[in-house]
Structure 1
Amino acid sequence: MYELFVLGELMTGEKHGYMLQDVLKNAVGQGRKISSGTLYPLLSRMVEGGWIRLREEEETAGGRTKKIYEITPSGEERFQRLMAEPFDPVYDADTQNTLRFKMVYFRYVPKEVRLACLDQYLRLLEQSLAHVARFEAYLLAERPEPEKQRVQLLRTFDHRKRLGEVEAEWIREEIERVREQQD
Protein backbone atom coordinates (compact mmCIF):
# COMPACT_ATOMS: atom_id res chain seq x y z
CA MET A 1 0.00 0.00 0.00
CA TYR A 2 2.77 2.46 0.92
CA GLU A 3 4.70 1.58 -2.22
CA LEU A 4 1.64 2.53 -4.29
CA PHE A 5 1.41 5.80 -2.39
CA VAL A 6 5.08 6.70 -2.94
CA LEU A 7 4.94 5.90 -6.65
CA GLY A 8 1.65 7.76 -7.01
CA GLU A 9 3.03 10.84 -5.29
CA LEU A 10 6.13 10.76 -7.48
CA MET A 11 3.90 10.52 -10.58
CA THR A 12 2.92 14.10 -9.70
CA GLY A 13 6.57 15.21 -9.56
CA GLU A 14 9.73 14.81 -7.53
CA LYS A 15 9.54 15.15 -3.76
CA HIS A 16 11.89 15.04 -0.81
CA GLY A 17 11.50 12.34 1.84
CA TYR A 18 10.10 14.62 4.53
CA MET A 19 7.37 15.82 2.16
CA LEU A 20 6.45 12.22 1.30
CA GLN A 21 6.21 11.38 4.99
CA ASP A 22 4.10 14.44 5.73
CA VAL A 23 1.66 13.82 2.88
CA LEU A 24 1.40 10.12 3.75
CA LYS A 25 0.80 10.91 7.41
CA ASN A 26 -2.17 13.07 6.42
CA ALA A 27 -3.41 10.61 3.80
CA VAL A 28 -3.72 7.60 6.10
CA GLY A 29 -5.60 9.52 8.78
CA GLN A 30 -5.08 10.41 12.38
CA GLY A 31 -5.18 6.87 13.72
CA ARG A 32 -2.27 5.57 11.66
CA LYS A 33 1.25 6.84 11.60
CA ILE A 34 4.06 6.22 9.17
CA SER A 35 7.40 6.45 10.87
CA SER A 36 10.73 7.36 9.35
CA GLY A 37 11.78 3.82 10.28
CA THR A 38 9.13 2.51 7.89
CA LEU A 39 9.29 5.07 5.10
CA TYR A 40 13.04 5.46 4.56
CA PRO A 41 13.80 1.71 4.31
CA LEU A 42 10.93 1.48 1.82
CA LEU A 43 12.42 4.33 -0.20
CA SER A 44 15.83 2.62 -0.11
CA ARG A 45 14.30 -0.66 -1.37
CA MET A 46 12.53 1.23 -4.12
CA VAL A 47 15.78 2.93 -5.17
CA GLU A 48 17.52 -0.48 -5.19
CA GLY A 49 14.63 -1.89 -7.23
CA GLY A 50 15.11 0.85 -9.81
CA TRP A 51 11.59 2.26 -9.37
CA ILE A 52 12.72 5.61 -8.01
CA ARG A 53 15.90 7.66 -8.24
CA LEU A 54 17.55 9.52 -5.39
CA ARG A 55 19.27 12.85 -5.88
CA GLU A 56 20.95 14.66 -3.01
CA GLU A 57 21.19 18.43 -2.79
CA GLU A 58 22.95 20.62 -0.24
CA GLU A 59 20.66 22.65 1.93
CA THR A 60 21.99 26.10 2.64
CA ALA A 61 20.50 26.73 6.10
CA GLY A 62 21.82 23.81 8.14
CA GLY A 63 24.30 22.31 5.71
CA ARG A 64 22.39 19.03 5.63
CA THR A 65 21.74 17.27 2.38
CA LYS A 66 18.20 17.14 1.10
CA LYS A 67 17.17 13.81 -0.45
CA ILE A 68 14.98 14.29 -3.52
CA TYR A 69 13.15 11.31 -5.02
CA GLU A 70 11.78 10.96 -8.54
CA ILE A 71 10.06 8.13 -10.35
CA THR A 72 11.85 6.19 -13.10
CA PRO A 73 10.27 4.64 -16.22
CA SER A 74 10.46 1.28 -14.42
CA GLY A 75 8.67 2.89 -11.46
CA GLU A 76 5.94 4.19 -13.76
CA GLU A 77 5.41 0.63 -15.05
CA ARG A 78 5.34 -0.67 -11.46
CA PHE A 79 2.80 2.04 -10.56
CA GLN A 80 0.53 0.98 -13.44
CA ARG A 81 0.74 -2.68 -12.31
CA LEU A 82 -0.06 -1.78 -8.68
CA MET A 83 -3.02 0.33 -9.75
CA ALA A 84 -4.40 -2.56 -11.84
CA GLU A 85 -3.68 -5.17 -9.14
CA PRO A 86 -6.81 -6.61 -7.52
CA PHE A 87 -7.54 -5.99 -3.86
CA ASP A 88 -6.95 -8.70 -1.28
CA PRO A 89 -10.12 -10.80 -1.06
CA VAL A 90 -10.80 -9.61 2.50
CA TYR A 91 -12.66 -6.34 2.98
CA ASP A 92 -10.94 -4.48 5.83
CA ALA A 93 -9.36 -1.14 6.74
CA ASP A 94 -6.33 -1.82 4.51
CA THR A 95 -8.67 -2.42 1.57
CA GLN A 96 -10.40 0.89 2.28
CA ASN A 97 -7.06 2.75 2.50
CA THR A 98 -5.80 1.12 -0.69
CA LEU A 99 -8.96 2.24 -2.51
CA ARG A 100 -8.46 5.79 -1.23
CA PHE A 101 -4.85 5.82 -2.44
CA LYS A 102 -5.84 4.42 -5.81
CA MET A 103 -8.62 6.96 -6.25
CA VAL A 104 -6.20 9.84 -5.62
CA TYR A 105 -4.09 8.64 -8.57
CA PHE A 106 -6.91 7.57 -10.92
CA ARG A 107 -5.98 10.32 -13.37
CA TYR A 108 -2.76 8.44 -14.19
CA VAL A 109 -4.45 5.19 -15.27
CA PRO A 110 -6.84 4.25 -18.07
CA LYS A 111 -10.59 4.29 -17.53
CA GLU A 112 -10.85 0.49 -17.58
CA VAL A 113 -8.40 0.26 -14.65
CA ARG A 114 -10.45 2.78 -12.66
CA LEU A 115 -13.67 0.90 -13.37
CA ALA A 116 -12.16 -2.50 -12.54
CA CYS A 117 -10.90 -1.11 -9.23
CA LEU A 118 -14.26 0.38 -8.28
CA ASP A 119 -16.20 -2.71 -9.44
CA GLN A 120 -14.02 -5.08 -7.43
CA TYR A 121 -14.21 -2.87 -4.35
CA LEU A 122 -18.00 -2.76 -4.65
CA ARG A 123 -18.14 -6.57 -4.85
CA LEU A 124 -15.99 -6.88 -1.69
CA LEU A 125 -18.18 -4.34 0.09
CA GLU A 126 -21.35 -6.18 -0.96
CA GLN A 127 -19.86 -9.48 0.29
CA SER A 128 -19.12 -7.83 3.63
CA LEU A 129 -22.67 -6.49 3.83
CA ALA A 130 -24.06 -9.96 3.02
CA HIS A 131 -21.95 -11.45 5.84
CA VAL A 132 -23.30 -8.86 8.26
CA ALA A 133 -26.87 -9.58 7.13
CA ARG A 134 -26.40 -13.35 7.59
CA PHE A 135 -25.00 -12.97 11.09
CA GLU A 136 -27.68 -10.44 11.98
CA ALA A 137 -30.37 -12.92 10.81
CA TYR A 138 -28.76 -15.64 12.93
CA LEU A 139 -28.81 -13.41 16.01
CA LEU A 140 -32.46 -12.53 15.44
CA ALA A 141 -33.56 -16.14 14.79
CA GLU A 142 -31.48 -18.01 17.35
CA ARG A 143 -31.41 -15.33 20.06
CA PRO A 144 -28.17 -16.56 21.68
CA GLU A 145 -27.36 -15.55 25.27
CA PRO A 146 -26.41 -13.34 26.92
CA GLU A 147 -29.19 -11.09 25.69
CA LYS A 148 -27.38 -7.82 26.49
CA GLN A 149 -24.44 -8.87 24.33
CA ARG A 150 -26.74 -10.01 21.51
CA VAL A 151 -28.58 -6.69 21.56
CA GLN A 152 -25.31 -4.77 21.43
CA LEU A 153 -24.04 -6.97 18.58
CA LEU A 154 -27.22 -6.16 16.67
CA ARG A 155 -26.59 -2.43 17.24
CA THR A 156 -23.01 -2.84 16.02
CA PHE A 157 -24.15 -4.69 12.91
CA ASP A 158 -26.78 -2.06 12.24
CA HIS A 159 -24.02 0.56 12.33
CA ARG A 160 -21.80 -1.45 9.96
CA LYS A 161 -24.74 -2.11 7.63
CA ARG A 162 -25.75 1.54 7.42
CA LEU A 163 -22.19 2.75 6.78
CA GLY A 164 -21.67 0.01 4.19
CA GLU A 165 -24.91 0.82 2.38
CA VAL A 166 -23.99 4.50 2.12
CA GLU A 167 -20.50 3.62 0.88
CA ALA A 168 -21.87 1.12 -1.65
CA GLU A 169 -24.26 3.73 -3.02
CA TRP A 170 -21.42 6.24 -3.35
CA ILE A 171 -19.26 3.67 -5.18
CA ARG A 172 -22.12 2.86 -7.57
CA GLU A 173 -22.51 6.56 -8.34
CA GLU A 174 -18.76 6.89 -8.86
CA ILE A 175 -18.78 3.93 -11.26
CA GLU A 176 -21.49 5.65 -13.31
CA ARG A 177 -19.59 8.95 -13.23
CA VAL A 178 -16.39 7.27 -14.47
CA ARG A 179 -18.29 5.38 -17.18
CA GLU A 180 -19.66 8.66 -18.51
CA GLN A 181 -16.23 10.35 -18.57
CA GLN A 182 -14.38 10.84 -21.81
CA ASP A 183 -11.00 9.14 -21.61
Structure 2
Amino acid sequence: MYELFVLGELMTGDKHGYMLQDVLKNAVGLVRKISSGTLYPLLSRMTEAGWIHLQVEEETKGGRTRKIYGITEAGREKFYEMMASPLDADAGAETELTFRFKMVYFQYVTKEVRLDCLEQYLQIVEKNYRYVSQFEAYLLANMPEPEKQRVQLLRVFDHRKRLGEVDMQWVREEIERVQIQEE
Protein backbone atom coordinates (compact mmCIF):
# COMPACT_ATOMS: atom_id res chain seq x y z
CA MET A 1 0.00 0.00 0.00
CA TYR A 2 2.80 2.45 0.85
CA GLU A 3 4.49 1.45 -2.40
CA LEU A 4 1.44 2.77 -4.26
CA PHE A 5 1.69 6.04 -2.38
CA VAL A 6 5.41 6.49 -3.08
CA LEU A 7 5.03 5.66 -6.76
CA GLY A 8 2.01 7.94 -7.04
CA GLU A 9 3.84 10.83 -5.41
CA LEU A 10 6.83 10.32 -7.68
CA MET A 11 4.50 10.40 -10.71
CA THR A 12 4.16 14.11 -9.87
CA GLY A 13 7.94 14.62 -9.87
CA ASP A 14 11.11 13.84 -7.95
CA LYS A 15 10.98 14.24 -4.18
CA HIS A 16 13.36 13.90 -1.27
CA GLY A 17 12.65 11.37 1.47
CA TYR A 18 11.63 13.94 4.06
CA MET A 19 9.01 15.39 1.70
CA LEU A 20 7.64 11.90 0.98
CA GLN A 21 7.42 11.20 4.70
CA ASP A 22 5.69 14.51 5.39
CA VAL A 23 3.11 14.06 2.62
CA LEU A 24 2.50 10.44 3.62
CA LYS A 25 2.05 11.45 7.25
CA ASN A 26 -0.67 13.86 6.22
CA ALA A 27 -2.24 11.38 3.80
CA VAL A 28 -2.69 8.59 6.35
CA GLY A 29 -4.26 10.90 8.92
CA LEU A 30 -3.94 11.34 12.64
CA VAL A 31 -4.47 7.71 13.58
CA ARG A 32 -1.50 6.21 11.74
CA LYS A 33 2.11 7.20 11.86
CA ILE A 34 4.78 6.55 9.26
CA SER A 35 8.26 6.57 10.72
CA SER A 36 11.61 6.98 9.04
CA GLY A 37 12.28 3.41 10.14
CA THR A 38 9.40 2.31 7.92
CA LEU A 39 9.78 4.69 4.98
CA TYR A 40 13.51 4.55 4.28
CA PRO A 41 13.77 0.74 4.18
CA LEU A 42 10.75 0.79 1.86
CA LEU A 43 12.51 3.31 -0.40
CA SER A 44 15.62 1.10 -0.39
CA ARG A 45 13.57 -1.97 -1.40
CA MET A 46 11.85 -0.01 -4.14
CA THR A 47 15.23 1.23 -5.42
CA GLU A 48 16.57 -2.34 -5.42
CA ALA A 49 13.45 -3.47 -7.31
CA GLY A 50 14.19 -0.84 -9.96
CA TRP A 51 10.94 1.07 -9.43
CA ILE A 52 12.62 4.26 -8.26
CA HIS A 53 16.08 5.78 -8.60
CA LEU A 54 18.09 7.66 -6.03
CA GLN A 55 20.13 10.79 -6.60
CA VAL A 56 22.28 12.04 -3.73
CA GLU A 57 22.84 15.79 -3.56
CA GLU A 58 24.95 17.79 -1.16
CA GLU A 59 22.74 20.03 0.92
CA THR A 60 24.19 23.45 1.66
CA LYS A 61 22.75 23.99 5.16
CA GLY A 62 24.41 21.81 7.75
CA GLY A 63 26.43 19.90 5.16
CA ARG A 64 24.00 16.98 5.14
CA THR A 65 23.33 15.02 1.99
CA ARG A 66 19.85 15.01 0.57
CA LYS A 67 18.47 11.95 -1.17
CA ILE A 68 16.18 12.71 -4.10
CA TYR A 69 13.95 9.92 -5.39
CA GLY A 70 12.43 9.65 -8.84
CA ILE A 71 10.29 7.08 -10.59
CA THR A 72 11.70 4.79 -13.28
CA GLU A 73 9.88 3.33 -16.27
CA ALA A 74 9.59 0.03 -14.34
CA GLY A 75 8.12 2.05 -11.47
CA ARG A 76 5.54 3.61 -13.78
CA GLU A 77 4.54 0.16 -14.99
CA LYS A 78 4.28 -1.05 -11.39
CA PHE A 79 2.21 2.02 -10.49
CA TYR A 80 -0.26 1.35 -13.30
CA GLU A 81 -0.43 -2.31 -12.32
CA MET A 82 -1.14 -1.41 -8.67
CA MET A 83 -3.77 1.14 -9.66
CA ALA A 84 -5.56 -1.46 -11.81
CA SER A 85 -5.32 -4.26 -9.24
CA PRO A 86 -8.52 -5.09 -7.33
CA LEU A 87 -9.05 -3.78 -3.83
CA ASP A 88 -8.64 -6.43 -1.13
CA ALA A 89 -12.10 -6.70 0.42
CA ASP A 90 -10.71 -8.59 3.42
CA ALA A 91 -8.05 -6.04 4.40
CA GLY A 92 -10.36 -3.88 6.57
CA ALA A 93 -8.97 -0.42 7.25
CA GLU A 94 -6.13 -1.09 4.81
CA THR A 95 -8.69 -1.35 2.02
CA GLU A 96 -10.09 2.08 2.80
CA LEU A 97 -6.62 3.63 2.94
CA THR A 98 -5.63 1.96 -0.33
CA PHE A 99 -8.84 3.26 -1.90
CA ARG A 100 -8.04 6.80 -0.73
CA PHE A 101 -4.50 6.55 -2.10
CA LYS A 102 -5.83 5.32 -5.43
CA MET A 103 -8.31 8.19 -5.62
CA VAL A 104 -5.52 10.74 -5.14
CA TYR A 105 -3.78 9.38 -8.24
CA PHE A 106 -6.85 8.85 -10.44
CA GLN A 107 -5.63 11.56 -12.83
CA TYR A 108 -2.87 9.19 -14.01
CA VAL A 109 -5.11 6.28 -14.99
CA THR A 110 -7.88 5.63 -17.46
CA LYS A 111 -11.54 6.23 -16.82
CA GLU A 112 -12.06 2.45 -16.86
CA VAL A 113 -9.54 1.94 -14.03
CA ARG A 114 -11.15 4.74 -11.99
CA LEU A 115 -14.62 3.26 -12.45
CA ASP A 116 -13.43 -0.27 -11.61
CA CYS A 117 -11.89 0.99 -8.38
CA LEU A 118 -14.99 2.98 -7.41
CA GLU A 119 -17.31 0.07 -8.17
CA GLN A 120 -15.12 -2.35 -6.19
CA TYR A 121 -15.12 -0.01 -3.23
CA LEU A 122 -18.89 0.42 -3.48
CA GLN A 123 -19.32 -3.37 -3.39
CA ILE A 124 -17.12 -3.55 -0.28
CA VAL A 125 -19.08 -0.81 1.49
CA GLU A 126 -22.40 -2.42 0.51
CA LYS A 127 -21.20 -5.80 1.81
CA ASN A 128 -20.16 -4.26 5.13
CA TYR A 129 -23.48 -2.45 5.35
CA ARG A 130 -25.41 -5.70 4.80
CA TYR A 131 -23.31 -7.46 7.44
CA VAL A 132 -23.96 -4.75 10.03
CA SER A 133 -27.68 -4.69 9.18
CA GLN A 134 -27.97 -8.46 9.49
CA PHE A 135 -26.17 -8.54 12.83
CA GLU A 136 -28.31 -5.66 14.07
CA ALA A 137 -31.45 -7.60 13.08
CA TYR A 138 -30.12 -10.67 14.92
CA LEU A 139 -29.57 -8.63 18.09
CA LEU A 140 -33.04 -7.13 17.88
CA ALA A 141 -34.66 -10.53 17.31
CA ASN A 142 -32.75 -12.46 19.97
CA MET A 143 -32.22 -9.75 22.61
CA PRO A 144 -29.02 -11.26 24.12
CA GLU A 145 -27.89 -10.20 27.58
CA PRO A 146 -26.58 -8.08 29.12
CA GLU A 147 -29.07 -5.47 27.99
CA LYS A 148 -26.75 -2.48 28.51
CA GLN A 149 -24.13 -4.02 26.26
CA ARG A 150 -26.71 -4.96 23.63
CA VAL A 151 -28.12 -1.43 23.61
CA GLN A 152 -24.66 0.09 23.23
CA LEU A 153 -23.75 -2.39 20.49
CA LEU A 154 -26.91 -1.37 18.65
CA ARG A 155 -25.76 2.27 18.92
CA VAL A 156 -22.40 1.29 17.42
CA PHE A 157 -24.18 -0.49 14.56
CA ASP A 158 -26.40 2.54 14.01
CA HIS A 159 -23.27 4.66 13.69
CA ARG A 160 -21.64 2.21 11.26
CA LYS A 161 -24.80 2.03 9.15
CA ARG A 162 -25.07 5.81 8.92
CA LEU A 163 -21.43 6.10 7.87
CA GLY A 164 -22.00 3.33 5.33
CA GLU A 165 -25.07 5.09 3.91
CA VAL A 166 -23.14 8.32 3.41
CA ASP A 167 -20.16 6.45 1.94
CA MET A 168 -22.38 4.51 -0.50
CA GLN A 169 -24.15 7.69 -1.60
CA TRP A 170 -20.87 9.53 -2.15
CA VAL A 171 -19.33 6.67 -4.15
CA ARG A 172 -22.45 6.32 -6.32
CA GLU A 173 -22.33 10.05 -7.06
CA GLU A 174 -18.62 9.81 -7.84
CA ILE A 175 -19.25 6.92 -10.23
CA GLU A 176 -21.86 9.04 -12.04
CA ARG A 177 -19.46 11.98 -12.16
CA VAL A 178 -16.64 9.87 -13.62
CA GLN A 179 -18.99 8.21 -16.14
CA ILE A 180 -19.87 11.54 -17.73
CA GLN A 181 -16.26 12.78 -17.79
CA GLU A 182 -14.51 12.81 -21.10
CA GLU A 183 -11.35 10.70 -21.24
The residue aligned with 2:23 is 23
Letter of the 1:29 partner, please give it.
Answer: G
Of all paired residues, the percent bearing the same amino acid is: 71
Alignment of 1:157-176 (within 5 A): 157-176=157-176
Name the structure 1 match of 2:42. 42
Q: Give the secondary structure class of the aligned counterpart of 2:114.
A: helix
Matched residue of 2:140: which SS?
helix
In 1, Cα distance between the equivalents of 2:57 and 2:32?
30
Structure 2, gaps ≥5 residues long: none
Length, aligned pairs only: 183
- Verify the 8 A CA contact 1:91 1:128 in the aligned structure 2: no
Distance in 2 between residues matched to 1:37 and 1:134, nearest whole Å: 42
2:113 is aligned to 113
2:2 is matched with: 2
| Structure-2 separation of matches of 1:53 and 1:101 | 22
Residue 156 (structure 1) aligned with residue 156 (structure 2): yes
Secondary structure at 2:66's aligned position in 1?
strand
Structure 1 residues 91-128: Cα deviation after superposition (integer angstroms, max 9, x where no partner): 62111111110000000000000000000000010000
Normalising by the residue count of structure 2, what TM-score does the alignment of the two structures yield?
0.99
Deviations 1:77-104 (A, max 9, x none): 0000000111112262111111110000
1:157 match: secondary structure: helix
Give the secondary structure class of the aligned counterpart of 1:90.
coil
Change (3 A) 1:72 1:35: same
Give the deviation of 1:147 after TM superposition. 0.7
Aligned to 2:94: 94
Cα root mean square deviation, aligned: 0.7
Paired with 1:8 and 1:63, the residues of 2 have a C-alpha distance of 30
**Secondary structure in structure 2 of the residue aligned to 1:54:** strand
Superposed CA deviations along residues 29-64 of structure 1, whole A, max 9, x for unmatched, are 011100000000000000000000000000111111
Q: Give the Cα–Cα distance (whole angstroms) in 2 for the partners of residues 37 and 106 of structure 1.
A: 29
**Deviating 4+ runs (over 3 angstroms):** none
Q: Structure 1: which 5+ residue stretches go unaligned?
A: none
Amino acid of the residue matched to residue 54 of structure 2?
A: L
* TM-score, scaled relative to structure 1: 0.99
Match of residue 55 from structure 1: 55
CA distance in 2, matches of 1:61, 1:101: 33
